[in-house]
Structure 1
Amino acid sequence: MQQSKYMKWFAVAATIGMALILLGGALVTKTDSGMGCGRNWPDCNGSLIPTHITPEILIEFSHRVVTGSVSILIFILSFWSWRKLGHVREVKFLSFLALFFLIAQALIGAAQVLWGQGDFILALHFGISLISFAAVFLLTLIIFEVDQKFNANNVHIGGVLKWNTIGVTIYSYLVVYTGALVRHTNSSLICPDWPLCRNDQMVLPGNFYEWVQMGHRLAAGLIFIWVLIITIHVIKHYKKQPVLYWSWIIALIIVCCQVIAGMGVVLTRLNIVVALLHTLFISLLFGLLCYMIMLISRSSHQAKK
């Protein structure tokens, strides 16, 4: 049954809103605006609405407003999906994930403002938000009935593709964490060159910050190679299953954009637009990989019938 256009537009708004939360959080970190409102939450420097506006206050307060507004959207979308599409196998689980991890990331953000946290804990903040984004993204695809349009319920996924998809999805989360750790440890520009830390020196990283930066580059390079190998396998063996064929081609395009944006972050000395694109691309890649995990679940379910 076709879903109402209102539900579809609402789902699109919630998905875009979650993307804005991810980008807003990255912007807060990249501009060192986390303490723009001081050690105050949910108020800002003692006021519900700040009266003295600085760039840091504007960025931090705007991020809080967007997070609060989108939280309401996602709560409504989750309840609406549960009521109207609860018969679809994944909907209730995705609705729960979207709400649970959205609340979790908000609480971690509040805890950082009120008490402060270590870099390794803060790096989890983006990853937690990313799970909520992926859940909302998948709900949106279900609402738009993408599976029916691509006959996704009848996909047949072999063991090689199944385990590589699961593996690269889990690994992508590690890449996300290392990228967040780069930001939170202020290691973004510790290595002035690319692809090596210093292209004129073939040496190992010399300190913790260089290890964080080069560890992330290595992790990003490996995910590019892994996605490339999987895509070649899919092109060879899954041409007759368009949802898999095109999903992996898109995944390869996104991971290429991710690598280029990562290089651009270094070469442009942390240009904010390039840095936010870097965040956007990994978010889209993770969402797409989660969609393919859902296809694997459906394939396994169909095989048991």
Structure 2
Amino acid sequence: MQYSKYMKWFAVAATIGMLLILLGGALVTKTDSGMGCGRNWPDCNGSLIPKEITTEVLIEFSHRVVTGAVSFLILILTVWSWRVLGHIREVKFLSFMALFFLIAQALIGAAQVLWGQGDFILALHFGISLISFAAVLLLTLIIFEVDQKFDADKVIIGNTLKRHTIGVTIYSYLVVYTGALVRHTNASLICPDWPLCNNKDIGLPANFYEWVQMGHRFAAGLIFVWILFIAIHAIKHYKEQRVLYWGWIIALIIVSLQVLAGMAVVLSRLNILLALLHSLLITLLFGLLCYMILLLSRSRQNQKSN
């Protein structure tokens, strides 16, 4: 149908827009541009459009413009999908989650600009945006009828894979939080080596910043091992269900690249492109894991109907 075609393009635009919000927020943090517009919000340094353009102003103001524009896209997509696809039970929930968490991340960003916040609160900012991205991504996949194309509406998932899918998805959010905490506590370069903080001096971290950095590395290493285990399990037992088989293989590839990107960020002394790639990969991984959670819902429906 004609409206379906337009909705697909709109959903893609909203998904790309959310990705730009996430990467823009990461860029603001990594370049210390958060105060580029001063203690002013929604205006920038006292003007609706900044009069003096510095690098920090450009990065922060661009992030605000993108966030505002994408917010309208997601609002329209939410209402549109609610009306047209409301009969699909996940659509209303995902629409609400996308809009709610987008507003939440915008308010946290505004609160930081106006009043300032602690590092542990700020570290939630990226994670909240991530939930909104995942909700928009899943809406997009539903609109594109990915379930039917990959027979995802026929999956049957065993208890072992169910438990690990839920566990690793929840745990991935902890990994995201520890990574954001590394950035917000300025602990990114506290450890000069990899994989240890100092490869010549093996021992426990010596201060808070080293604990934050090494805690994130340990968390990232554990999620790699966990997804490796799940991927092996899926390859052995779910070869006939290609959405699960290939889904977990792709998850393993992404998490492997994520580990390599993290290493490259440290060894390159925080190269900005590598750092943004690091953020992009965890975003894609979290979105894929959330889709795997959606498949659990499909599996329960299929088991009831059998």
- TM-score range (shorter-chain normalised) is over 0.9
Per the alignment, residue 53 of structure 2 pairs with 53
Correspondence for 1:302 = 302
* Structure 2: runs of 5+ lacking an equivalent: none
Choose 1-10 or 236-245, whichever is displaced more.
1-10
CA-atom RMSD, angstroms?
Answer: 0.9
Q: Give 2:274's aligned residue.
A: 274
Aligned to 2:87: 87
Conserved? CA contact 1:3–1:144, under 8 Å: no
Contact 1:133/1:287, CA 8 A, preserved across alignment:
yes
For the residues of structure 2 that align with 1:177 and 1:225, how far apart are their CA atoms? Answer: 19
Q: What SS does the corresponding residue of 2:200 show, helix, strand or coil? A: coil
Distance 1:251 1:129 in 2: 20
Equivalent in the alignment of 2:36: 36
Q: 2:21 is aligned with what amino acid?
A: I
Percent of aligned pairs with the same amino acid: 82
Q: How many residues of Structure 1 are paired with residues of Structure 2 in the alignment?
A: 305
State TM-score, norm by structure 1: 0.99
- Compute the displacement of 1:2 (Å): 8.7
Give me the whole-angstrom Cα distance separating, in 2, the residues matched to 1:250 and 1:268: 26
Whichever residue aligns with residue 206 of structure 2, its letter is: G
| Cα distance in 1, alignment partners of residues 221 and 171 from structure 2 | 12
Give, in whole Å, the separation in 1 of the partners of 2:8 and 2:156: 28
Match of 1:170 in 2: 170
Match of 2:241 in 1: 241
Q: Which amino acid aligns with 1:50?
A: P
Partners of 1:43 and 1:139 in 2: CA distance: 32
Provide the residue aligned with 1:96 in structure 2.
Answer: 96
Summarize the alignment of residues 158-197 of structure 1 with structure 2, pairs less than 5 Å apart: 158-197=158-197
Q: Give distance in 1, aligned partners of 2:52 and 2:46.
A: 11
Secondary structure of 1:44's counterpart equals coil
- Contact 1:3 / 1:143 at 8 angstroms: preserved in 2? no
1:297 Cα deviation after fit: 1.2
Q: CA deviation at 1:5?
A: 1.7
Q: Which amino acid aligns with 2:47?
A: S
Which amino acid is the alignment partner of residue 157 of structure 1?
I
> Aligned partners of 1:74, 1:250: CA distance in 2, in Å?
27
Tell me how far apart the structure 2 counterparts of residues 140 and 256 of structure 1 sit (CA, whole Å): 26
**Is the CA contact 1:154–1:299 (under 8 Å) kept in the aligned structure 2?**
yes
Residue correspondence of structure 1 range 72-221 to structure 2 within 5 A: 72-221=72-221
Give deviations 1:151-199, integer Å, cap 9, x for gaps: 1111000000000000000000000000000000000000000000001
Do 1:105 and 1:129's aligned partners in 2 also have CA atoms closer than 8 Å?
yes
